[in-house]
Structure 1
Amino acid sequence: MKMAELKKAVAEKAEMSQSDANQVIKACFEAISDALGNGETVQLPGFGTFSLGERAARTGRNPQTGAEIQIAASKSVKFKAGKALKDSLNG
């Protein structure tokens, strides 16, 4: 599903204009991003949990040359699906 399709689906389910749905979706994504940026976990009961993960610095290899390279530490987003979401998918 692309953003335009999500916007249309939200607008239909919430009985609002696509413009309003777009603002709501953007606000939700921004709030989740801000919370994760502050090191918080975002729990959406019935849907899932977004949390911040950290990858340690490590040594990797360039697949073309085989030379060792240093890969810097980084942060990533983890998502764990909630029970209700899992149940709805496994029906």
Structure 2
Amino acid sequence: MRKPELAAAIAERAELSKDKANDVLNVVLDEITNSVAKGDAVTLVGFGTFQKKNRSARTGKNPQTGAPIQIPASSTVGFKPGKALKDSVN
């Protein structure tokens, strides 16, 4: 499912217009993005938790030449599914 399909499903289930559902979805995603970017964890009970994770610098390998390269430290987003989501998938 892609974002437009998700917005359409929200519109149908919440009896909203597709434009309004798309606006709501954008606001939710923006708030999650902003919170995680600040370093705050976002927990949606039963669904899961989004949080910022740090990767330390490490040595890697250039796949074309095999030469060692330094990979700089970076940040990424981690997601830990909640119990209800895990149970529904299994």
| C-alpha deviation, 1:14, in angstroms | 0.7
TM-score normalised by structure 2 residue count: 0.96
TM-score normalised by structure 1 residue count: 0.95
Q: Aligned residues, how many?
A: 90
3-state SS of the aligned residue for 1:65? coil
| C-alpha deviation, 1:63, in angstroms | 1.1
Aligned to 1:48: 48
| C-alpha deviation, 1:30, in angstroms | 0.4
Question: CA RMSD for the aligned pairs?
Answer: 0.7
Runs of 4+ off more than 3 Å: none
Aligned to 1:2: 2
Q: Which runs of 5+ in 1 are unaligned?
A: none
| C-alpha deviation, 1:34, in angstroms | 0.5
Aligned to 1:73: 73
Percent identity between the aligned chains?
Answer: 53
Q: Deviations over 1:46-79 (max 9, x none)?
A: 1100011110001111011111111110101000
| C-alpha deviation, 1:20, in angstroms | 0.3
